[in-house]
Amino acid sequence: MTDPDLAGARLTIDLDAIVANYRLLSDLDARTECAAVVKADAYGLGADRVAPALAAAGCRTFFVAQVEEGIRLRALLPEADIHVLNGLPPHPGTERVFDAHTLIPVLNSLGDVDRWAKHVRAGGATTATLHIDTGMCRLGLSGDELAALAADPGRVGGTEITLVMSHLACADEPDHPMNAKQLAKFRAALDRLPWGVSPWGRTSLANSSGLFLGPHYRMDLARPGVSLYGGTPNPALPNPLAPVVRLQGKIVQLRDVDSPQTVGYGATHQVTGPRRLATVPVGYADGFLRSLSGRGTAFIGDRPVPIVGRVSMDLITLDVTDIPAAECHPGALVDLIGPHNPIDAVAAQAGTIGYEILTSLGARYHRDYVGGGRGGQDR
C-alpha cells in the first residue's frame, strides 16, 4: 500500500465505470452472454477488485491467460466459470491443478486434446474449451489438426467441450477483409466437427471490437477485455465506453530556464527562450513509456502542457510556462491520463496501443478505487 502523501502519483480506478461498460457490452445483444477477460491482473487494474465488482454486476464467466491467474481468481470467485486461455502447461501432471481449482482449460492443439482425454479417462474433470485457429497462427488447432480430429472424433474421449472458440485478428478495423474470412472459416470449422455445436458446446468469436462487428460475430459468448477498461473498440469512431482510469502526477519542483539551456538526458530539448519547467516524479519505471519523450502531453485543468526532454526512469519534465502560478506549484496534480488525454490518446502519442499503457501502469502509484460498492479503499 502506498501512502498518498508520499507517492509521486495517484492512479484512480473507477469500478462503477467498469461495471457500466460491462452492462453496455452485455446490452448489445440479448442472445449473447458477455464474459469478462481479466488476464494480466485485469489489464493492470487489479483483478482482486475488478473481478468481484463484475461478478456482483452479474458476470459469471471469466477468462485469464495463465493457470496461476486462474488459481488466484478462483479464491475470489468460488462459483464462476474460469477459462484459462493459454491452456495446458507443457509439464506433465498439471492437469490435476485444473481439477483442484475447478478451472476450464482451453485446448489449443491436438496434443492438448489427447492429454485432456487421457486425463478424463483417468477420472479427471471432463469440461474443456476447444480453440480453433482461423488466422492468428498463435494458439488453436490448425487446419491439419482440425482435419485429423474430424476424421477421428474418438480422440476427445469423454471430454465435454462446453465452448468452441476462435479469436479475431483485425476486429478493430471493421472493414478489414480478415474479419469476414475468419467468420467463414470458423463456421466451416464448426460444420466439420462431428458433434457440431450441439449438444455439447456453445460458440465464441467476438472480443471487445468483435462485439461491434454485428450479430453474426457475437454468437453465444463474447469475450471483451480492453473495452471493459475504457479502451476504444474502433479507433476511427467516438469511444462509447466510459473512461476507467485517471493518472495524476504531483509537481515536485518548478524551475525557470532560458536559452541556451537544455533539458534531460541526451540534451534532446533545447530551450529557445524564457520558459518555466515542472518536474513530476513519474517515469518509465512506473510504466510511463519512454517513447512519450518530447511528444507526450499532460494537462493542468483543461490546459495542455508538453513533455519536454526525455522520459527518464523516475521523472518527467513539463513546460508549464503558460499556466497561472496559482494552478502550478509543488504538490499540484497534473493529469497524465485523464478526461482530456484518455488511454488511447496517450497510446497514440507513445506509438503503441491502449493495452500496453494499461498493463504497464506501475506499482509505485497510490491506487484509489472508487465505486464498486466499497468506496475508495487504497493499495
**Cβ proximity of 57 and 20 under 8 Å:** no
Q: CA–CA separation, 280 vs 282, rounded Å?
A: 6
Question: How do the pLDDT tens digits run along the chain, 379 residues long?
Answer: 568 888 899 999 999 999 999 999 999 999 999 999 999 999 999 999 999 999 999 999 999 999 999 999 999 999 999 999 999 999 888 999 999 999 999 999 999 999 999 999 999 999 999 999 999 999 999 999 999 999 998 899 889 999 999 999 999 999 999 999 999 999 999 988 876 544 456 999 999 999 999 999 999 999 999 999 999 999 989 999 999 999 999 999 999 999 999 999 999 999 999 999 999 999 999 999 999 999 999 999 999 999 999 999 999 999 999 999 999 999 999 999 999 999 999 999 999 999 999 999 999 999 999 998 554 445 5
Q: CA–CA separation, 338 vs 327, rounded Å?
A: 17
Catalytic residues: 39, 265
DSSP H/E element including 299: strand 297-300
Contacts of 226 (CB under 8 A, 6+ apart): 43, 208, 354, 355, 358
**Cβ proximity of 252 and 65 under 8 Å:** no
Q: CA–CA separation, 213 vs 193, rounded Å?
A: 25
Q: CA–CA separation, 118 vs 113, rounded Å?
A: 9
Residue 157 phi/psi, 5-degree rounding, is 55, -130
Domains in the chain (CATH in brackets) are 31-229 (3.20.20.10), 245-370 (2.40.37.10)
Dihedral over alpha carbons 76, 77, 78, 82 (to 10 degrees): -120
